Amino acid sequence: MPKMKQYLDNVEDLRSLSIKDIKRYLKPNTFSDNVVLNFYRDGERTGSIGIESQIFDTEGAITLSYKYRQEFSISYEIGLVSKPSNLGKGIVWYFVCPKTEKICRTLHLKDGYYYHRSAFPELYYENQILSKNWRKVQKALEIELSGKVYDEYFRKHRKKTYRGIPTKEESKLKRMLKIKEEYKPDLSILNFIK
């Protein structure tokens, strides 16, 4: 078995650019210049990106301009495509990753460029790195600390079955309660918080 890297990159730790961030600039048959998108963390500005967009009826392109690590000035174009909404009203915009050419709604910044997460083979979600047992512990702690599961499970007039079959909500709540009952964590370490 190959040895795993000790420090893996998480998707959650990377800066990302989402369609939601630039949605207001995606009006068909428009051209916008010198738009600045700022990034903030804990109320402090951590960076900015200059965006130029050229949008047609169903496709377009944006040009990103920014400084990476205050040293390198980077400027490149990312394609955009749109598809009809599954609700039948309007269209939904997607990025076309410049490296993998996959369509996506979020691009991640790594090594200076915004790409689809599959462009980085050593990039994982935080839960992928955790062991199966630790995920169970984490889920049990979330259930124990939230209390919402019990409130929802014992809510008055909640629909538990439909035509004799348990509803999805009922199945989900039972599964979460089973996880909590199977693993009873020692919460005595949380006493120091009080």
Q: pLDDT tens-digit profile of 118-149?
A: 898 888 888 888 887 788 777 777 777 677 77
Alpha carbon 25 to its chain centroid, in Å, reads: 21
Q: pTM score > 0.85 for this model?
A: no
3-state secondary structure (DSSP) of residue 15:
coil
> What rounded mean pLDDT belongs to the chain?
81
Average pLDDT, integer, range 54-61: 87
Band of the pLDDT at 79, cuts 50, 70, 90? very high
190: left (phi > 0), else alpha (psi -120 to 50), else beta? alpha
Report the pLDDT value the prediction gives residue 7, as an integer from 0 to 100.
61
Find the DSSP H helices in the chain: 19-22, 126-129, 132-146, 148-153, 168-182
- The per-residue pLDDT for range 16-30, each reduced to its tens digit, is 889 988 888 777 787
Contact partners, residue 99, CB within 8 Å, separation at least 6: 113, 115, 116, 119
Whether residue 104 is predicted with pLDDT greater than 90 in this model: the reply is: yes
3-state secondary structure (DSSP) of residue 8:
coil
